Each structure stands twice: as structure tokens, then as C-alpha cells.
Amino acid sequence: MEQATEKKSRFGMLIDLDRCTGCGACMISCAVENNIAPAEQKATTRTGVTWIRVSAMSNGAEFPATDTVYVPMPCQQCEKDTPCVAVCPQNAVDVDPQTGIVGQVPQRCLGCRYCMTACPYHARYFDWWDPRWPEGMEQTLNPDVAPRMRGVAEKCNFCHGRLHAARTKAAAEGRTDIAPADYVPACVEACPAHAIVFGDLNDAESEVARGAAHPHSFRFLVKLGTESKVYYRSERAWVRDNADAFRLA
């Protein structure tokens, strides 16, 4: 009897920069979903934690020709020679062969921060403090996601708690494959401009795969050869032309 196996997927994102307004709803929803504690009062942009950071990118022209886009930057889910995987001495970063998702195993992390140094997208963060929530707020934590302790690195994992929930639902219904509607990351769900599309890049008929193939879609720092699975799109040529020179604002 042939054993049913889950199909191999390549989950990825397409972010439309012409739609993004920089509102930050993706950042808030991500923090709530993944139990990211409120920032300490002395935290800075270097020591705070956010799994997706929205930065501004400008064309550098003087008024009235000035133009700006907002760039949500989660982990780019590098597929080839994944930098953070290559440098981690603890095997605390792994790539799921069934989904292509680059995950983090905080229980293995020793806090060396090599992964942060290796990440060309600055999409990794370090827990400088134990997580603390205002009194009563701890009752609102997501039970499907374990908070991380002080001294470990963390990053976006495409809301693994939601992936597990979708797999559990599929198994209960006798299915080997999860339904696309059952696995939607928090940032995708929360975006009021519908600027983020998520799905299986291996499914040629999916919205994310068709969007990634669009001539106005691109990836940041493609010259590094990481084959990231997060695509961006813009009708503005200057945005696409600066994809290899992008720096966080």
C-alpha cells in the first residue's frame, strides 16, 4: 500500500510596495501573534525586537520630484547557501525540507549572534532582556507560540504556530495537504492595504507564484545569490533599480 506523503512546498511572500502605506499593522500583528514582548524603555532600534521592520526608501530627488516607498522587511527565507544556517555553531537554525521555511530553534541558541552578523537583510534580532508584559497582559499571550528567553536570537518564521494549526486541521479531516486558506501569516491577515500575498511558490497557479513571475517583481540584494523567497513588486523603476543598494533607514 502506497503511503501518502505531504507534498513539498516553497512558502514565500510577495509584498507590493506601491500598496504599502507604512502603517505598521504588520509589525503589531506579528508581535501579538508571536508573543514578542513590549520593548524595554531603554531599547533602541538595534536592541529592540521586531520580526518585521518597515523602513523607508527614497529616490533621493529634491522636491517636487521626491518619492518614497515603505519596505516591510521580514526574514527573507534564503533558499541557497542560507547565511544564518551556514554560520550557526549550534544548528539552531534549520530549513524545513517540506516547506522551505527557515526556522529558529531558541532552545539550541547560545547567543553568539553570528547569524545576525551574517544576515545581509538585518532581519534577525537578539533578546537582551527576559520578556515582560504589563500586569494582566500575559493573559492575552498566544498559547501556540512559546516566548523566548533572554540571550537568544530570533526572527520571522512565517508564523509557525499557524502552520502547525493548519496541519492539525488537515490531519483531523483526513488530508495530507493543508488548505491555503488555513495557513495565512498574521502580517498578511492584518495588512489593511492587502499589500502582502503569501503562499506556495511551487504552485504555479497560486497568487504568490504568479505575482513573483511578474516583470515588475524583484528581490532585494539578489546579487548575493541567496535566492530569497520574499519577493517585492513596484511599478516604479527607481524602486526596482535600487533593490541591490537598499539600506535600512
- Say which residues have a Cβ less than 8 Å from residue 232's Cβ, sequence separation at least 6: 14, 15, 16, 17, 71, 217, 218, 219, 220, 243
DSSP annotation of 27 reads: H
Q: Which pLDDT score is estimated for 249?
A: 46
Tens digit of each residue's pLDDT (9 = 90 or more) over 34-49: 999 999 999 998 899 9
The alpha-carbon radius of gyration of the chain (Å, integer) is 18
Angle at 41 between CA 37 and CA 44, to 5 degrees: 85
When pLDDT is averaged across residues 61-80 and rounded to a whole number, the result is 95
The percentage of the chain sitting over the pLDDT mark of 90, rounded to a whole number, equals 92
When pLDDT is averaged across residues 201-221 and rounded to a whole number, the result is 97
Q: Which pLDDT score is estimated for 1?
A: 40
Q: Which pLDDT score is estimated for 67?
A: 95
The cell numbers describing 79, all together, are 533558499
Band of residue 245 on the pLDDT scale cut at 50, 70, 90: confident
- Say which residues have a Cβ less than 8 Å from residue 163's Cβ, sequence separation at least 6: 99, 101, 178, 183
Q: State the pTM of this model.
A: 0.93
Band of residue 246 on the pLDDT scale cut at 50, 70, 90: low
Query: Would you list the domain boundaries of the chain?
Result: 11-241
Band of residue 238 on the pLDDT scale cut at 50, 70, 90: very high
When pLDDT is averaged across residues 63-76 and rounded to a whole number, the result is 95
Residue 207 phi, psi dihedral angles, 5° rounding: -65, -35
Question: Is a pLDDT exceeding 60 seen at residue 7?
Answer: yes
Residue 26 phi, psi dihedral angles, 5° rounding: -65, -40
Contact 130, 138 (CB under 8 A): no
Q: Which pLDDT score is estimated for 247?
A: 62
Q: Which pLDDT score is estimated for 244?
A: 84
- Domain topology for 11-241: Alpha-Beta Plaits (3.30.70)
Contact 55, 73 (CB under 8 A): yes
Question: Is a pLDDT exceeding 70 seen at residue 65?
Answer: yes
Tens digit of each residue's pLDDT (9 = 90 or more) over 98-127: 999 999 999 999 999 999 999 999 999 999
When pLDDT is averaged across residues 186-213 and rounded to a whole number, the result is 97
When pLDDT is averaged across residues 127-132 and rounded to a whole number, the result is 96
What does 185-220 look like in DSSP terms, one character per residue? -HHHHH-TT--EEEEETT-TTSHHHHHHTSTTEE-T
Encode 7-25: b = buried (16+ Cβ within 10 Å), e = exposed.
eebbbbbbbbbeebeeeeb
Contact 93, 83 (CB under 8 A): no
Query: Nearest Cα to 72, choosing from 18, 132, 34, 134?
Result: 18
The cell numbers describing 93, all together, are 537554525
When pLDDT is averaged across residues 131-142 and rounded to a whole number, the result is 93
Alpha-carbon span 38 to 140, nearest angstrom: 13
Question: Is a pLDDT exceeding 80 seen at residue 5?
Answer: no
Alpha-carbon span 248 to 232, nearest angstrom: 16
Question: Is a pLDDT exceeding 70 seen at residue 225?
Answer: yes
Question: Is a pLDDT exceeding 80 seen at residue 131?
Answer: yes
The percentage of the chain sitting over the pLDDT mark of 70, rounded to a whole number, equals 96
